[in-house]
Chains A and B, each alone.
Chain A
């Protein structure tokens, strides 16, 4: 009986988690991959671990701590790179390690029972609460509305910021809002995939999609689809093998990427000789 309840909870959380994770990661992932912000996103992810540590230490919700840390560091890096006061990649590199260091120090300073570190680092479905799922669900709705309402604005600013500045004075506002949403998405997905692996949840699906299309809106849709296949399959595998879910999700996504790449290559390969072989045969007859 108890096993059934656990199993039910696992399926519901897993399914909802997979749906919301793939929607948020697909939208945000397409944005960061095409804007070449992957490294920045890695920095945000690891900086937010500092927030998790401080959250534990102060006895507040670690996800809230991570969200505050993540958004502040994201805005900080955007601000510094706009002002060109510091080399952006160096700033991110420092932030990356500083976040991890802060997190570890505060977790060790926290008196009493040490929290489940592995869960935060590599993701664990068992520590995911319904509150986490609801937060991800709200984020999915918010992001969908945001991207639908400002699709062209977001696309054009991230494609050519300088040109956008010639007609709009809202470029920086949009960049800061979108970057904050990126940070929030990353933090909420940490519960699913873990600090170490969440970046791949965002970056692999758009890369799968870009093998097949170069149209921004189609990349978003295909990314969500690829993300869902990866997360759902990852959950199942993780359940049967008893290994961390983040790892199995990433593993499945990479396999999916290789398969699509290979399939695409094969399709091109078989299309080409077809037209080449035709002419000698017809000339022979």
Chain B
């Protein structure tokens, strides 16, 4: 299987604060990788390095130029990075995802607009296609941003904590949708929700300054313990509960 991205002994830091250190990591075509790890462990930084928003301080990141470049990746940010009061319609926001194929451009072609209408239908947003963002609920906004991420048919889709604001009625659809998209594109999904991750991803990566890749989707307790990071397990029961495991015992 062809690789899309390869990181070799990559490090990244903010000012003098090293967030990622000496990472070797490959993303292949049709991968569906869950990225887990503690807050501040560098999950979002990893995505930003892939997007080219942060330059590595050491090591390298190589894109398979036949298939992909840093500018042609679909991205669903953790929180809305735009101003939700900005006068812009749902259709226009989704169309902005086409920019990964255009860079600087004046007009969208008729086929771009048709493609936008398809995506809007697909995500159940038809009724609000011409609404402005401040009229939408959190779950609807999330779908708009997913639409923006996938409209340009990227080879790689980066999702940062998509579970955060997916509403429960859309949750199953959302993961079904990802499964469907995964036939066309590789997916890298950052999440805290290990229960959710293990039932959908094909493999996962544990990020806490360094990165450990686990080629199977099975997450065992031993693996979690060995990783040496506090991990939040969320289960759905009668009473919603959260178990925090703090691993003071460092596996290495």
Give A contacts to B, CB under 8 Å.
34, 36, 148-153, 155-156, 158-170, 210, 213-216, 219
Closest-by-CB residue of B relative to A148 is B106
Contact B81 A163, beta carbon cutoff 8 Å: yes
Is B96 in contact with chain A by the CB < 8 A criterion?
yes
- The residues of A that contact B53 with a CB separation of less than 8 Å are 162, 165-166
> Out of B71, B86, B95, which one reaches A166, CB within 8 Å?
B71
Contact B71 A160, beta carbon cutoff 8 Å: no
Contact B88 A159, beta carbon cutoff 8 Å: yes
Contact A162 B81, beta carbon cutoff 8 Å: yes
Docked complex Cα distance between A205 and B83 (Å): 21
Is B104 in contact with chain A by the CB < 8 A criterion?
yes
- Interface flags, B72-95, vs A, CB<8A=1, else 0: 110101000111001111001101
- The residues of B that contact A210 with a CB separation of less than 8 Å are 87
Contact A168 B99, beta carbon cutoff 8 Å: yes
Is B105 in contact with chain A by the CB < 8 A criterion?
yes
Is B252 in contact with chain A by the CB < 8 A criterion?
no
**Nearest CB on A from B76, distance (A):** 10
Contact B82 A163, beta carbon cutoff 8 Å: yes
**Nearest CB on A from B81, distance (A):** 4
B-side binding surface: helix, strand, loop or mixed? loop
Contact B82 A159, beta carbon cutoff 8 Å: yes
**Number of residue pairs A-B, CB distance < 8 angstroms:** 87
Contact B92 A163, beta carbon cutoff 8 Å: no
Most chain B Cβ neighbours within 10 Å, of A36, A160, A210, A216: A160
Docked complex Cα distance between A164 and B99 (Å): 8
Tell me whether A156 and B106 are in contact in the complex, defined as CB-CB below 8 angstroms, given that A166-B73, A214-B132 are known contacts.
no
- The residues of A that contact B233 with a CB separation of less than 8 Å are none
Docked complex Cα distance between A240 and B71 (Å): 59
Is B52 in contact with chain A by the CB < 8 A criterion?
yes
Is B114 in contact with chain A by the CB < 8 A criterion?
no
Contact B81 A160, beta carbon cutoff 8 Å: yes
Q: List B9-59 residues whose CB lies under 8 Å from chain A.
A: 51-53
Closest-by-CB residue of B relative to A216 is B87
**Nearest CB on A from B220, distance (A):** 35
- List 19 interface pairs A-B (beta carbons < 8 Å), by A numbering: A151-B107, A153-B104, A155-B96, A156-B99, A159-B86, A159-B96, A160-B83, A160-B93, A163-B82, A165-B51, A166-B51, A166-B73, A166-B100, A168-B103, A170-B103, A210-B87, A213-B87, A214-B87, A215-B89
Docked complex Cα distance between A34 and B52 (Å): 27
Docked complex Cα distance between A213 and B88 (Å): 10
Is B108 in contact with chain A by the CB < 8 A criterion?
yes
Docked complex Cα distance between A2 and B211 (Å): 84
Contact B100 A167, beta carbon cutoff 8 Å: yes
- The residues of B that contact A215 with a CB separation of less than 8 Å are 87, 89, 130, 132
**Nearest CB on B from A35, distance (A):** 8
Contact B103 A167, beta carbon cutoff 8 Å: yes
**Nearest CB on B from A38, distance (A):** 14
Known: A166-B100, A169-B71. 13 other contacts (CB 8 A): A150-B104, A150-B106, A152-B95, A152-B96, A152-B99, A161-B81, A163-B75, A163-B82, A165-B53, A167-B99, A214-B87, A215-B89, A215-B132
- The residues of B that contact A167 with a CB separation of less than 8 Å are 71-72, 99-100, 103
Contact B96 A163, beta carbon cutoff 8 Å: yes
Closest-by-CB residue of A relative to B89 is A215
Docked complex Cα distance between A214 and B132 (Å): 6
Docked complex Cα distance between A214 and B105 (Å): 22
Docked complex Cα distance between A158 and B77 (Å): 17
Contact B75 A159, beta carbon cutoff 8 Å: no
- The residues of B that contact A170 with a CB separation of less than 8 Å are 103-104
Contact A153 B105, beta carbon cutoff 8 Å: yes
- The residues of B that contact A213 with a CB separation of less than 8 Å are 87
Contact A34 B105, beta carbon cutoff 8 Å: no
**Nearest CB on B from A248, distance (A):** 29
Contact A152 B105, beta carbon cutoff 8 Å: yes
- The residues of A that contact B52 with a CB separation of less than 8 Å are 166
- The residues of B that contact A164 with a CB separation of less than 8 Å are 96, 99
Closest-by-CB residue of A relative to B96 is A156
Contact A151 B82, beta carbon cutoff 8 Å: no
Contact A160 B82, beta carbon cutoff 8 Å: yes
**Nearest CB on B from A202, distance (A):** 16
Q: List B115-131 residues whose CB lies under 8 Å from chain A.
A: 130
Closest-by-CB residue of A relative to B130 is A215
> Out of B51, B81, B83, B108, which one reaches A152, CB within 8 Å?
B108
- The residues of A that contact B86 with a CB separation of less than 8 Å are 34, 158-160
- The residues of A that contact B132 with a CB separation of less than 8 Å are 214-215
Tell me whether A34 and B87 are in contact in the complex, defined as CB-CB below 8 angstroms, given that A160-B81, A160-B82, A167-B103 are known contacts.
yes
Tell me whether A160 and B106 are in contact in the complex, defined as CB-CB below 8 angstroms, given that A34-B87, A165-B53, A219-B87 are known contacts.
no
